[in-house]
Amino acid sequence: MKIIDIQTLVVNAEMRNWVFVKVVTDQDGLYGWGEASLNWKTRAVTGAVEDLKPLLIGKDPRDIEQIVRILNKHSYYRLGIIGATAISGIEHALWDIFGKSLDLPVWRLLGGKTRDSVRVYTHLGLGDMKSVYETFDEGALRDKALAVVEQGYDALKVVFIPYAHFSVGIPARKHVGRLMRTLRDAVGDGVDIMIDFHGRPASIAGALQFIEELAPYNPMFCEEPVIPGDTEAMRLVTERAGCPIATGERLVGFKEFEPLFAAKACHIVQPDLNHTGGILEGKRIAAAAEQAFMGVAPHNPNGPIAGAAALHFDVSTPNFVIQEEMSGAVPWYDDVVSVPMKRTGSAWAVPEGAGLGVEVNEREAAKHPFKQEVFHTATAILPDGTIVDW
């Protein structure tokens, strides 16, 4: 079996572009689908896939470890987030081919089942990006949270930390406290709440001041309280916070996670299998996290194939905690792609189909070509004109 072509298919999903990767083999009708979506980097990622393709033509797609090594080593310059995302999409497709060739689901090839269902959560607004990032009003927050719970979810994530700088004013802190109290009162103790800071506080003190307002309401975790990359800052926040701390969506590969493990600098890691180098790299990260007494809650606000890859990873990963998901993010979702994620309440069922269990209707996908994504980052400006983290 040999790889004869690698193609990309861009599908605009209104607030972001999905980048699907198709790896084609010389076996009649045998191909695999992966995903390499990266917000605001669509053209760079598709170009990276095209640049990497010549390295793989003629290779056996089942030699996944070797192929990933080729993509990393033979690129010469070390790859950042764009290259790692391109590799992730290709790698997903290789697993899909491998599973199809054996008529087995991918999770079987990753070591088998470690659970009978996969707990999931969604965002405020059920995927509507404006609701996710722009809900700072108590009434709207309550209504949108209840709408999520009405859909059967028992866990949700919110992003209501204000754009911040090195110091945090009392009104901003108190407003966050009111929002969290409103949210907890609305959904009750039976619903887990996660707060995504998006790395907005520019200081350890600022992050801790916000966490002090949130902790009494028992969040499942506070995510990215400071910008990733500074392990010591993350460790200090984790040691002093009165609730679990999570991070990792913007880290690339095992090497960038390793300092977190050594320093015990968080409680939950959040590798994005769409960005960190693929499923194999995610399994390495998860294994090291388990040894460091950390859980894994994979990041995934991406498209449907990334969701399928995460599902198979979750089924086979012992220290899995909860999965971010964005199913049905657009009205025509089911017209473009069929996926193995079947949700009952707040859990996905374990899939039994071959490979990742995904099929793409390329004709329908072509109806939603590339468009420039919305730049939410343009709102991350303080009243005095200072540009801050989004």
Name the residues annotated as catalytic. Answer: 198, 299
The answer for 264, left when phi > 0, alpha when psi is -120 to 50, beta otherwise, is left
Spatial separation of the C-alpha atoms in residues 25 and 58, rounded to whole Å: 9
Beta partners for residue 4, in sequence order: none
Spatial separation of the C-alpha atoms in residues 99 and 32, rounded to whole Å: 9
Per DSSP, the residues of 27-77 read: STT-EEEEE---TT-HHHHHHHHHHHGGGTTTS-TT-HHHHHHHHHHTT-S
Spatial separation of the C-alpha atoms in residues 273 and 271, rounded to whole Å: 6
Sign, CA dihedral 201-374-268-171, equals positive
The secondary element (H helix, E strand) that includes residue 183 is helix 170-187
Write out the two tokens for 273. Answer: 């299998």
Residue 104, Cβ density class (10 Å: 0-12 exposed, 13-18 middle, ≥19 buried): middle
Write out the two tokens for 185. Answer: 């009162």
Name residues whose C-beta falls within 8 Å of residue 136's C-beta, 6 or more positions apart in sequence: 160, 162, 175, 179
